[in-house]
Chain A
C-alpha cells in the first residue's frame, strides 16, 4: 500500500520468513530477489557488508521474486533455497546460489545440496515434486502487493527503498529511516 510517496511492505515479517539477525534489531531490511538476476548477485555482497557493519542492529530477510519468464532457472533455484531451508540450511544455499549464479541447472543445484550437507534424496524429491513452489508463489504475491518493482527491491523497516542499492545509498537510507530508533 502507499501513504503519499511511501510504499509499504505488505505481509509483516514473521516466523515464516528467513531472517538473519535478532527480531529485536532496530533495523529490518527485507529483500525481494531472484537468484538468477545479475543485479541481485551484485547486491548480495553489499547486504553482507551491511550485516558486518551493523551487527545485531540489523535483521535481514529474504523473500523470493523469481522472474521466471526471463530467467529459466530462477524458479527452481528459489525452490532449492526453500528446500534447503526445510533442512535448516536456507542461508548456506542462498549464499551458494548467488556465488554460482551462472550454474543453476538442476544438476548443479543437486551438487550444491550435497556440498552444504543436505539430505540429497529428500532435496531432489522435494525439488522434483515442487513441494516449495507454493511458498515461492506466496512470496511473489506479497511482493506484488508490496509494490516490488524489479529485482532486487529492498524495504527498510517496512518502507520501500526507491533509491539505488549501492552500499553508500543503502547506508544513507538506513540512517534516514532509522535515525530515531538508533540515535546515538
Chain B
C-alpha cells in the first residue's frame, strides 16, 4: 500500500480514537474538537538525524498556532518510548502511541504499512467540525516538511479549496 489513494481523503469525517500520550494519559481526537488538528503519522521515534520530522514541527509550532491549530504526532511506538523520545527532543506537542492493537488508528486512516509494521509518513489536517480537509502520504524516506500543512490551514481560513 502506501499509495495516497488509500489514505482517507478530504471531506471524510475524521474517525475518532483514544490513545495513550503517556503511560497514564489517554487522549481522544474529540478532546480537540473546535480547533483545527494536524495529525502527523510517522514511522518511528528516534530517527538518527537532527531535523527529523517531529523535531522540525517542534521548531515551527508557532506557525501552526497562528491558525489556532493543534499538532498531534502518532506512531506505533509505545507510550514509554514516546516519553523518552519527547523528553530527548524537547517536544512541545503530544505523541500518541498507536501500540495496542498495533497500528489500529493508522489502519482507520488508511496509512498502515503491514510489511514494515509501521504507519506511513502521512499528514491529515482536520477542521473544527472534525472533517478531514487535506491529507498527504509522503514518499517513503522523504520527510514531507510543513508547507502542505500550512497551505491547508490557510485554505481553511479563507475558504478556498486547497489544491496540493
Contact = CB atoms under 8 A, between A and B. Distances in A.
Contact of B90 (A1, A66, A70, A144): A70
Given A70-B90, A145-B147, A151 B58 contact: no
B164 A69 contact: no
Nearest to B142: A162
Interface residues of A, number: 29
A68 B89 CA distance: 10
A16 B91 CA distance: 31
B59 interface: yes
Interface string B25-65: 00000000000000000000000011111011011101100
A7 B63 CA distance: 18
A37 interface: yes
A39 interface: yes
Interface residues of B, number: 26
B50 A69 contact: no
Contacts of A2: 147-148, 164
A10 interface: yes
A71 B147 CA distance: 23
B44 to A, nearest CB: 16
Contacts of B145: 7, 144, 146-149
Interface string A122-165: 00000000000000010011011111111101000000001000
B146 interface: yes
A134 to B, nearest CB: 12
A68 B59 contact: yes
Contact of B147 (A70, A137, A146, A150): A146
A82 interface: no
A149 B59 contact: no
Interface of B: 49-53, 55-56, 58-60, 62-63, 89-92, 142-148, 150-151, 164
Interface of A: 1-2, 7, 10, 34, 37-39, 65-71, 137, 140-141, 143-151, 153, 162
